Amino acid sequence: MTPSVTILTLALALAAPWHSLATSTTRRYTLKETYNYQNFFDKFNFFESRYGTGNYNDVDPTWGYINYRNRADAEALGLIRTVGTDVYIGVDHTSVTQYPGTGRSSVRLESKQTYNKGLFIARFSHLPKPVCGTWSAFWSTGDPWPQGGELDWYEGWNDQTVNTPVLHTGRASEVGPCYLSNDGQTSTVTHANCDNYGGLWENHGCTTKATQADPWGSPDGGIYAVEWTDDYIKFFSWRHGAAPPDIASDSPDPQRWGTPSVLIANSLCDINRHFASQKLVLNINFCGAAGLSHIWGESCRGKTQEEACGNYVARNPWAFKDVYWQIQGIRVFA
């Protein structure tokens, strides 16, 4: 049963509309770094699947039916490119593959820079279409994992209709407890204990379900932001046109943005103990969690008439034509 925790003291502070006056606790943010079409791929390492080592973690740490390609191969295969002033990151949607065997080609990017606190704003002009067999995510993770924490800002699999942000932390017995509460956020908590080993199964973490206002899977893209301080971590998301007016400025003020979609409160989770030195990760995986029997069976087994996720992904490349990111940019403020 999910623990129930209440944060009464945060309710008023988090209810302020965008147009309210800034409080004395307003943090002044300054633009420090920009990822855009001119430098995007230079600022990331490409995780490359290594088959033949006997250790599937060398192929994919999350056990997907996948073949992550290096930069040169990804460019040659058309998995990455610039589109005007946007960045495109997609998957192989033309080749029939063999399952079991080498998985479908995709890209997993991990930022060269690591971050400790700040404000992160990512703007997308297209988000990956939710399709059976896919597992798309935009997230950050510390090292070692899970002791360094993980913040899954955008995550989901198969044909789900909403974003399901997740947090992972180390063992509570070693690094202390971390919980989420429904108070002070718009997303619904579906499992409150963030201990990576204290969930419904190992690697579960604490899970949430975003509202329909989140632009999950939108072909028009959307905006995702994370504010990380000593006192809290907040996730925000908006469809284009619904974002705060200062979102594109060089000095945005999150205090004016209203209630976040997810709130990690220091009173329930020691921020500085659980989250540090996070690298940004952006990827599109196949199967893995999406192919677990109980998850695949929710709708995709019947919809695809395939017993195994890998069989569907291998035989139906055309299903993944619209499974891609198109990114306007990521900006980092401190």
Q: Whole-angstrom Cα distance, residue 106 to residue 59?
A: 12
CB contact at 8 A, 165 and 153: yes
What burial class does residue 84 get, using C-beta atoms within 10 Å of its C-beta: 0-12 exposed, 13-18 middle, 19+ buried?
exposed
From the list 270, 238, 275, the residue with the least C-alpha distance to 254 is: 238
Q: Known catalytic residues?
A: 150, 155
Structure tokens at 69: 């390609």
DSSP class per residue in 168-214: EB--HHHH--BB--STT-SSEEEE-B-BTTSSSSTT--EEEE--TTS
d(CA 173, CA 195): 9
Alpha helices (H) in 43-147, listed in sequence order: 71-77
User: Which residues contact residue 12 at a Cβ distance below 8 angstroms, ignoring those fewer than 6 apart?
Assistant: none
